[in-house]
């Protein structure tokens, strides 16, 4: 037998795995998405809409991610190398039964990204890089637990940080919070993106355009690609069960960045002025959102 169409029968089991008939489960939901698509919008396909069972597994992975960042927060200090941060992450993740997702990801050599001052993201931990008083550093942790992925990052201010750097760190966190407020089903990713960059611009900062966030959970990086310079009403439709990151990179000066030619990973600001980033992982729920990792 071959299938004439891949449209699921109304009496067939629903694609979501609930065991209910399609007509009693996601049929109306799919019709609503199809209608919005017909209006010219980008919409999610089933592969990125997580089932309750998957969400539970991803939530467990995210708990490890949070615990690892908490462990870094307790131990990070001036005089420490970024390799020692990598060791803390590797140690704690293993203790909690997870695997660091960055390690060997597309050839990435370490368990975590550590991005100091003018490094925008993807800084590689090293024995030669020592945290010093006045640095701002992003520690970006990602975990795999039983094949389920989580991802979040925080900024740390080392010792006495200048007022302008602290403002950059604080405003970037506020940008994430402003974006988060916009996350609810049947709205668009661009609603979030606009809230993020408006807050950054209002404070005199710029937002990196070329590097964005991503769907996450079943893979490290899934659709959608998430921009923080997008406009309200644009980009992908949000529906319950989607999980993605809000992780804007906010620069004190120009939004222009470049990649280190030697290591192929480290991203710097073009003007070498500082950059900050916070990353949370958010689930779209029936009536709003739930933060899974922060």
The answer to the question of residue 154 lying near ligand MF3 (CB under 6 A) is no
Tokens at residue 21, please?
């008939």
Q: Which is nearer to ligand MF3, 111 or 206 (CB)?
A: 111
Q: Which is nearer to ligand MF3, 212 or 240 (CB)?
A: 212
Whose structure tokens read 């940008």? 175
Alpha-carbon span 150 to 56, nearest angstrom: 12
**Cβ 65 vs Cβ 151: under 8 Å:** yes
Q: Which is nearer to ligand MF3, 86 or 279 (CB)?
A: 279
Minimum separation from the CB atom of position 76 to ligand MF3 (A): 17
Residue 222 near which of Co ion, ligand MF3, none (CB within 5-8 Å, type-dependent): none
Using DSSP's 3-state secondary structure scheme, residue 181 falls into: helix
The answer to the question of residue 142 lying near ligand MF3 (CB under 6 A) is yes
Minimum separation from the CB atom of position 245 to Co ion (A): 4
Residue 98 near which of Co ion, ligand MF3, none (CB within 5-8 Å, type-dependent): none
The contact set with Co ion (CB under 5 A) reads: 151, 245
Alpha-carbon span 262 to 270, nearest angstrom: 16
In sequence order, which residues have a C-beta less than 8 Å from that of residue 119 and are 6 or more positions away? 138, 266, 267, 268, 275
Alpha-carbon span 155 to 250, nearest angstrom: 12
Alpha-carbon span 94 to 185, nearest angstrom: 35
The answer to the question of residue 247 lying near ligand MF3 (CB under 6 A) is yes
The answer to the question of residue 122 lying near ligand MF3 (CB under 6 A) is yes
**Cβ 118 vs Cβ 274: under 8 Å:** yes
Tokens at residue 4, please?
């004439």
Tokens at residue 148, please?
């389920």
Alpha-carbon span 226 to 247, nearest angstrom: 9
Binding to ligand MF3, residues 269-288 (CB under 6 A): 279
Alpha-carbon span 89 to 111, nearest angstrom: 7
Q: Which is nearer to ligand MF3, 161 or 282 (CB)?
A: 282
The residue count for binding ligand MF3 (CB under 6 A) is 12
Per CB under 6 A, the list member of 140, 191, 222, 255 interacting with ligand MF3 is 140
x/- letters, 92..121, toward ligand MF3 (CB under 6 A): ----------x--x--x----x--------
Q: Which is nearer to ligand MF3, 149 or 205 (CB)?
A: 149
Alpha-carbon span 66 to 210, nearest angstrom: 27
Q: Which is nearer to ligand MF3, 51 or 126 (CB)?
A: 126
Q: Which residues bind ligand MF3 (CB under 6 A)?
A: 102, 105, 108, 113, 122, 140, 142, 151, 245, 247, 265, 279
């Amino acid at each position: 037998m071959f299938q004439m169409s891949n449209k699921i029968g109304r009496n067939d089991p629903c694609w979501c795995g609930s065991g209910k008939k399609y007509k009693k489960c996601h049929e109306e939901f799919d019709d609503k998405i199809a209608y919005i698509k017909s209006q010219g919008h980008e919409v999610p396909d089933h592969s990125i809409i997580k089932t309750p069972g998957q969400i539970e597994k991803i939530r467990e992975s995210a708990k490890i991610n949070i615990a690892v960042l908490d462990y870094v927060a307790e131990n990070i200090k001036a005089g420490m190398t970024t390799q020692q941060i990598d060791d803390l992450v590797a140690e704690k993740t293993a203790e909690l039964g997870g695997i660091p997702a960055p390690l060997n990801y597309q050839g990435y050599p370490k368990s975590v990204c550590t991005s100091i001052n003018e490094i925008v993201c993807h800084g590689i931990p090293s024995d030669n890089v020592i945290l010093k008083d006045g640095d701002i550093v992003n520690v970006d942790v990602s975990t795999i637990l039983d094949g389920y992925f989580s991802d979040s990052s925080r900024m740390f201010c080392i010792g006495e940080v200048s007022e302008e750097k602290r403002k950059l760190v604080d405003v970037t966190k506020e940008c994430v919070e402003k974006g988060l407020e916009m996350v609810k089903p049947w709205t668009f990713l661009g609603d979030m993106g606009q809230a993020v960059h408006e807050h950054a611009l209002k404070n005199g900062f710029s937002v990196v355009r070329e590097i964005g966030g991503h769907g996450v959970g079943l893979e490290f990086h899934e659709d959608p690609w998430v921009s923080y310079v997008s406009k309200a009403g644009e980009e992908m439709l949000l529906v319950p069960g989607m999980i993605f990151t809000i992780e804007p990179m906010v620069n004190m000066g120009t939004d222009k960045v470049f990649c280190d030619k030697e290591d192929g990973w480290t991203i710097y600001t073009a003007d070498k002025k500082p950059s900050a980033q916070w990353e949370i992982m958010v689930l779209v729920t029936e009536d709003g959102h739930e933060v899974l990792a922060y």
